[in-house]
Amino acid sequence: MYAPVKKGNIYSFQHVEKPSEIAFDYTRTMLPPKKFFVRPKDEMLRLKGGKWEESNGVEPIVLFGVHSCDIHGLEILDKVYLDEPVDPYYKKRRENSIIIGMSCMPDEYCFCKSLGTDFAMHGFDLFLHELPDGWLVRVGSVKGHEIAWENEELFEELTEEDMRNFREFEEKRANSFKKHLNKEGLEDMLDLAFNSPVWKKYEKICLGCGNCNMVCPTCRCYEVCDLWMNAYEAVRVRRYDSCFMESHGLVAGGHNFRPTRLDRFRHRYYCKSYFDPSAGFNCVGCGRCDEFCPAKIEHVKVLDEVREGLQ
Amino acid sequence: MTFQTHDARILEVKELTSREKLFTLRFVDPELNRSFKYKPGQFVIVDIRGFGEFPISLCSTPTREGYFQLCVRRVGRMTKYMHKLKEGDIVGIRGPYGNGFPMEKMEGSTLVLVAGGLGMAPLRSVLWYALDTGKYEKIYLFYGTKAYEDILFRDEVIHLLKHGEDMNCHVKLAYEVETPSCIYLEKGYSPRVCKGVVTDLFRGETFDVENTYALICGPPVMYKYVIKELLDRKLSPGRIYMTLERRMRCGVGKCGHCIVGTSTSIKYVCKDGPVFTYWDALSTRGLI
């Protein structure tokens, strides 16, 4: 079982043995739960005797305490990785995991409410909502039903009071958001703002480190390379890549399709704000890119400035 | 499995130029060899085991079965390894990927193939396909190269230059660097062979815009100028097809390296392309 654990000032999903290790009131982990499905460094194939063999199997895991925005993030990854042709590694890991969601209170970085990802209707097995005297549990899958069925003694019937408390909590939560993204016509607005001076302003501030890509629950670019383990064995490994790296847009012969930091900075905003009619935006408003940006660039502020520049 | 490659044996290695080699391959598994179908314009991922993978377009035609060909230019680490391989060596292949050119839709029309440098490789697949099936009214090949020594598939191109007219295939060649061989060619086939760039070959050419498709492949800088020539001749953007290049790692729309476009239109070059029309380029920023 993996759950949020506090280490220094940072929360992260770690292997836990007992409830006391879990940080129930965490805001956000540095790396989103995607790290369990799209690994930062992931062995795909192993070369033995001149033949590729599939790498070892997958251990079943329980992910406890996943916030609603991260559940939405995983659903966006599902769209890509489970689409034909299915990514076998991702699929196996998704099938072998149990997702237990947990309610949260937003901090100054969260803007998930603006994107409609502050509440999860699916994408989890169980979802725990905090109440004054326990948890209200929503069941989101067959697997979730089975868990509830097998552990009947842990559950009590829902009362009117529980529902009232749940509503109060959700209301309080909805009113606690400090950041709002104006998503009205966002994708069209950005399309018009390709030459906005705001991009040029931020190009100078951005360090091009790619941190925002690493911590983003929906960023999924990866690079592949082969590594020799010894004279007879090699592995094919994929690892996170970042569209902020110059090599990302490079092709044979040295031509680069996104040669400047301006191109790369803008590209990320376009990719995150792309609106898919069936899946929504590619951003879930978790606030990680803001919190972990060493240059203190704020996602919502950039988009607001671009919008203002158009008016 | 999605990322497992299949053994293919190199049947022949032919040196095309000092930088490009032509590899003729066949799958070791005879069943796979029979079932391997592809369209001109599609690409495969080549796997040099223990060294890595790279995408490359198929330059042979599906009308000739039992083998397939890849034209590989030595530009980086992976292609350098590929160039060291010899007849009988095994590489891994997965694919074919991408959409390919809509050959059936274009049947009965005139095809204008515009190739620049290495762009000749994917268009050779179209050229052979069109010649083999004979289902196209007329074929033009406008080919721009740096020098005589850089002409890919030189014997084929020169053969078509000489005898192509009998097959309704009109070849025109532009070169940039003057060498004795070029001058000899120019003397024999002027004005179809000239010093200049590929757009110079359009001079004096008109097409029946209702019945013509243009297919372009070349270095990124070429598209803008070639497309201008075609639009000047009133060819509709929907009749202009081009095949594009990106650093595709997975080939199946996962790894994100080939994502282009803006917030309203995002395309994966590997699965939405690599063949796009000029309409796509107009509605998807960053495509060309």
Q: Give the model's pLDDT for residue B1.
A: 66
- Taking only residues 262 to 281 of chain B, the set having a beta carbon closer than 8 angstroms to any beta carbon of chain A reads 262-264, 266
Task: Say yes or no for a CB contact (<8 Å) between A222 and B254.
Answer: yes
Q: B191-205, pLDDT tens digit by residue?
A: 899 999 999 999 888
Full DSSP string of B135-154? -SSEEEEEEEESSGGG-TTH
Cis status, amide bond into A132, omega within 30 of 0: no
Average pLDDT value for chain B: 93
Q: Give the model's pLDDT for residue B247.
A: 86
Q: B20-30, pLDDT tens digit by residue?
A: 999 999 999 99
Chain A residues in contact with B250 by the CB 8 A cut-off are 222, 224
Q: A254-297, pLDDT tens digit by residue?
A: 889 999 999 999 999 999 998 887 778 999 999 999 999 999 99
Chain A residues in contact with B249 by the CB 8 A cut-off are 222-224, 238
Pairing of strands B240-243, B212-217: parallel
Q: Give the model's pLDDT for residue A289.
A: 94
Angle at A18 between CA A14 and CA A21, to 5 degrees: 55
| Three-state DSSP class for residue A191 | helix
Q: How many CB atoms lie within 10 A of CB A5?
A: 18
Among candidates B1, B49, B264 on the partner chain, residue whose Cβ is nearest the Cβ of A88: B1
Chain A residues in contact with B4 by the CB 8 A cut-off are 45, 52, 54
Does position A176 have pLDDT exceeding 80, yes or no? yes
Angle at A150 between CA A147 and CA A154, to 5 degrees: 85
Q: Give the model's pLDDT for residue B106.
A: 95
Q: Where are the beta strands (DSSP E) in A94-148?
A: 97-102, 126-131, 134-139
Q: B15-73, pLDDT tens digit by residue?
A: 999 999 999 999 999 999 999 999 999 999 999 998 999 999 999 999 999 999 999 99
CA of A85 vs chain B CAs: smallest distance (Å): 7
Q: A88-125, pLDDT tens digit by residue?
A: 999 999 999 999 999 999 999 999 999 999 999 999 99
Q: Give the model's pLDDT for residue A49.
A: 84
Return the closest-CA partner of residue B286 out of A305, A280, A244, A194. A194
Q: Name the β-bridge partners of A239.
A: A41, A223
CB proximity list for A282: less than 8 A, separation 6 or greater:
A76, A218, A271, A272, A273, A274, A276
Q: Give the model's pLDDT for residue B77.
A: 87
Q: A41-58, pLDDT tens digit by residue?
A: 999 999 988 889 988 778
Chain B residues in contact with A46 by the CB 8 A cut-off are none
Q: B234-271, pLDDT tens digit by residue?
A: 999 999 999 998 988 999 999 999 999 988 889 999 99
| Three-state DSSP class for residue A4 | strand
Task: Say yes or no for a CB contact (<8 Å) between A220 and B254.
Answer: yes
Pairing of strands A97-102, A61-66: parallel
Task: Say yes or no for a CB contact (<8 Å) between A253 and B75.
Answer: yes
Q: B93-133, pLDDT tens digit by residue?
A: 998 999 999 999 999 999 999 999 999 999 999 999 999 99
| Three-state DSSP class for residue A27 | coil
Nearest residue of B to residue A234, measured between CA atoms: B50
Task: Say yes or no for a CB contact (<8 Å) between A257 and B260.
Answer: yes
CA of B52 vs chain A CAs: smallest distance (Å): 5
Among candidates A47, A222, A250 on the partner chain, residue whose Cβ is nearest the Cβ of B49: A47
| Residue matched to tokens 């498709």 | B213
Nearest residue of B to residue A54, measured between CA atoms: B4
Task: Say yes or no for a CB contact (<8 Å) between B285 and A221.
Answer: no
- Taking only residues 222 to 251 of chain B, the set having a beta carbon closer than 8 angstroms to any beta carbon of chain A reads 245-247, 249-250
pLDDT above 90 coverage of chain A, percent: 86
Helices (H), chain B: 30-35, 77-84, 120-133, 154-163, 180-189, 220-232, 269-272, 278-283
Interface check B88 vs A, CB under 8 A: no
Chain B residues in contact with A191 by the CB 8 A cut-off are 262-264
CB proximity list for A197: less than 8 A, separation 6 or greater:
A309
Return the closest-CA partner of residue B44 out of B101, B5, B86. B5
Among candidates B2, B257, B285 on the partner chain, residue whose Cβ is nearest the Cβ of A194: B285
Interface check B4 vs A, CB under 8 A: yes
